[in-house]
Chain A
Amino acid sequence: MNYQYHNTVVTLVVSGIITSRMTKKLPIAQLEVIANDIREDIIHMLEHAGSGHSAGPLGLADIFTALYFDVMKHDPQNPDWDERDILLLSNGHCVPVRYATMAHAGFFPKKELLTLRKLGSRLQGHPERTRLPGLETTSGPLGSGLSQGAGVALALRMDKQLTRRVYVIMGDGELDEGNIWEAAMLAGKEKLNNITGIIDRNNIQIDGPTELIMPLEDLKGKWEAFGWHVLEINGNDIEAVIDACEMAKAIHEKPVMIIAHTIPGKGVDFMENDFHWHGAPPNHEQAVKALHELRTLGGKIRSEHE
């Protein structure tokens, strides 16, 4: 798979099938730089806040970059645009990555990111829709995002708004919640093909590895049994995220669940794959170390793609 750039027209070659998008889409290399910048902002925000979750937001940076800078229809100047796609973050504790991505996309000034978790901030510890335009819903208590996504999808279908989609991002630990599976049954029954679910399969939750706390496997088989079409991808590969979201639009008979395998804490080696970083922020020393590594990585990405 490769990308060729002809001015603003991106030609995508997938398994011999050539499609064209008349868009102003950014090259993958540039998206990777954005994702790295978002990771740096997450470190700054969490250090400044003195509390919050590190691992999940860092692991999700590539997925959020793909969604906001390529996949989704949205307008930062008009967050309530009535043709936009809807993104619901079910695992609300990962909201720092959403805030950072929205700031980069132009929803609000980047300097506001450092107000995270402070009194009077629009950037609450867990997202509150009514405080910040563009958040779509209020979340934090786990397990309710997919149901709301089903509600959005049903309303879109009733209103015959067939070009809009709803994206729901869930954590893997969150799948312990029964509410998720109630939604899974409904979406399967109603064949809600306008939902794209994305599971952040990073294998950790607060008390430890998911497979020790409450095993999820066979995860793909579970979703298929509930009537979903399942795609498995590397969730830290922006191109793979974009391709999977495009593929999902072509599945007509079922809702689509993307199991996105990610590395928790991605980009900061001492945080990667360590469940202790699920719910902890870096202190100053750790933040300096993390930022140094991310900046070095930034150099690496540029050198690889230039």
Chain B
Amino acid sequence: MSDMYLADITGKLQSESTRKGFGRGLLEAGKRDVNVVAACADLTESTQMSLFKAEFPERFIEIGVAEQNLATVGAGMAAMGKIPFVSSYAAFSPGRNWEQIRTTACLNERPVKIVGSHAGLSVGPDGATHQMLEDIALMRVLPNMIVIAPCDSVEAEKATLALAADKVHPGYLRLAREDTPIITTSKTPFEIGKAYVLEQGIDVTIIATGTMTYQALVAAEKLYKDGIEAEIVHVPTIKPLDAETILKSVRKTGCVVTVEEGQINGGLGGAIAELLAENLPSPMRRIGMKDHFGESGEPSELREHFGLDTKHIRLAAHEVTDKKDKRG
């Protein structure tokens, strides 16, 4: 779609990690609003909060390796009108401090912004302990919580600014460690709660979130050569879910594949399955981690090993279109 202002994904794409985009976004948010503050649990460079810290040292708090404290200090600062961004690895925050986030941010209605870096398989060689795959599920079940998984560093920057501008809701921003292709541009629209049709098609809807959206776009190119026109719906905001855009697409295509770098149980796949089961039951396959943990390896190797690569997306698209045709 021309009005999405995407980069040409068939050409040579630049690569950058989503955490880099967050770092720039937070610095800009800090310049725009004096009430934006930051706290980190001993991973300031890794989570790219270092840019903010260097510019606004008096608005940055080093918490040390204490994620429960990280979330609750954030809630305290938010009580006094601050917009706190609190960062760590996703495995630890929101992995370790879920109850504190639930009670002191969500139930308490304080706009604490949880930034979980190194999510998904992208932390690679560090292995299963550090590969956070359950974070979307953990955050998605919390009332009041916004859940965002940006597709590239440019969108991560926009998502950070959007979260900073929301003075009411707590939010979760899911970031990755590895460099991934930049597929959007500064002109590409981003709004919390909106899903975007990146490529139009009529045969199958592929719904993707986070950096896996790039994999979905690549799979769509291959599917086109197979004679299948896939519609690619990018869902950066997993909660609140843009039901309207998703249902509209699935009504048109009649079948769906979801794609994410996390547990499909309770993740994007779970969210879409819930939506469609109640509104529009359709042939469906979910690409993602299927109720098991990861292991050490390079991110690309792991994606292939666990069935999260373009090959598996393509196979899943064929399966659901076949199933739809048999039903039809």
Using an 8 Å CB-CB cutoff, how does the interface string of A227-239 with B read, 1 for contact, 0 for none? 0000000000000
CB of B189 closer than 8 Å to a CB of A: no
Most chain A CB within a 10 A radius of its CB, from B37, B76, B81, B84: B76
Chain B facing A: main interface SS: helix
- Smallest CB-CB separation from B74: which chain A residue? A151
Q: Pick the residue among B69, B77, B81, B108 that contacts A183 (CB under 8 A).
A: B69
Q: Is the CB of A149 within 8 A of B100?
A: no
CB of B296 closer than 8 Å to a CB of A: no
Q: Pick the residue among B58, B64, B104 that contacts A144 (CB under 8 A).
A: B104
- Smallest CB-CB separation from A129: which chain B residue? B108
Known: A148-B79, A148-B104. Contact between A154 and B64, CB under 8 A?
no
Q: Is the CB of A154 within 8 A of B103?
A: no
CB of A121 closer than 8 Å to a CB of B: no
* Chain B: minimal CB distance from A18 (Å): 36
Using an 8 Å CB-CB cutoff, how does the interface string of B279-290 with A read, 1 for contact, 0 for none? 000000000000
Known: A139-B103, A152-B79. Contact between A182 and B69, CB under 8 A?
yes
* Chain B: minimal CB distance from A274 (Å): 29
CB of A147 closer than 8 Å to a CB of B: yes
Of A51-59, A155-163, A246-254, A283-291, the one touching chain B = A155-163
Q: Is the CB of B66 within 8 A of A149?
A: no
* Chain A: minimal CB distance from B266 (Å): 22
CB of A106 closer than 8 Å to a CB of B: no
- Smallest CB-CB separation from B84: which chain A residue? A151
Q: For the complex, what is the distance from the CA of A144 to the CA of B102, rounded to whole Å? A: 12
Which B residues touch A153, using CB under 8 A? 76
CB of B219 closer than 8 Å to a CB of A: no
**What count of chain B residues pass the 8 Å CB interface test?**
28
Using an 8 Å CB-CB cutoff, how does the interface string of A152-180 with B read, 1 for contact, 0 for none? 11111011000000000000000000110
The size class of the interface chain A forms with chain B is 20 to 34
Q: Is the CB of A155 within 8 A of B81?
A: yes
CB of A293 closer than 8 Å to a CB of B: no
Known: A144-B72, A154-B73, A159-B80. Contact between A185 and B66, CB under 8 A?
yes
Using an 8 Å CB-CB cutoff, how does the interface string of A133-150 with B read, 1 for contact, 0 for none? 000111111011001111
Which A residues touch B75, using CB under 8 A? 137, 144, 147-148, 151
Which B residues touch A128, using CB under 8 A? 107-108
CB of B63 closer than 8 Å to a CB of A: yes
Q: For the complex, what is the distance from the CA of A86 to the CA of B77, rounded to whole Å? A: 12
Q: For the complex, what is the distance from the CA of A67 to the CA of B104, rounded to whole Å? A: 23
Q: Is the CB of A137 within 8 A of B64?
A: no
Known: A141-B99, A158-B37, A158-B59. Contact between A152 and B68, CB under 8 A?
no
CB of A12 closer than 8 Å to a CB of B: no
Known: A182-B66, A182-B69, A186-B69. Contact between A155 and B107, CB under 8 A?
no
Which A residues touch B100, using CB under 8 A? 141, 144, 147, 179
Q: Is the CB of A186 within 8 A of B103?
A: no
Q: For the complex, what is the distance from the CA of A190 to the CA of B100, rounded to whole Å? A: 22
Most chain A CB within a 10 A radius of its CB, from B37, B69, B80, B82: B69
CB of B78 closer than 8 Å to a CB of A: yes
Of residues 114 to 148 in B, which have CB atoms within 8 Å of A's CB atoms? none
Q: Is the CB of A140 within 8 A of B69?
A: no
Q: For the complex, what is the distance from the CA of A137 to the CA of B104, rounded to whole Å? A: 7
CB of B109 closer than 8 Å to a CB of A: yes
Known: A130-B109, A155-B81, A179-B68. Contact between A150 and B76, CB under 8 A?
yes
Q: 19 additional contacts, CB 8 Å, given A141-B103, A144-B68?
A: A138-B104, A147-B69, A147-B73, A147-B75, A148-B76, A148-B104, A150-B69, A150-B76, A151-B75, A151-B78, A151-B80, A152-B79, A152-B80, A154-B76, A155-B76, A155-B80, A156-B80, A158-B59, A186-B61
- A residues contacting B by CB (< 8 A) are 86, 128-130, 136-141, 143-144, 147-156, 158-159, 178-179, 182-183, 185-186, 190
| Pairs across A and B, CB under 8 Å, 10 listed | A147-B68, A147-B72, A150-B69, A151-B72, A152-B76, A153-B76, A155-B37, A182-B69, A186-B73, A190-B61
Among all A-B residue pairs, the 10 with the closest Cβ atoms = A151-B76, A147-B72, A155-B80, A182-B69, A148-B76, A182-B66, A138-B108, A151-B73, A151-B77, A179-B68
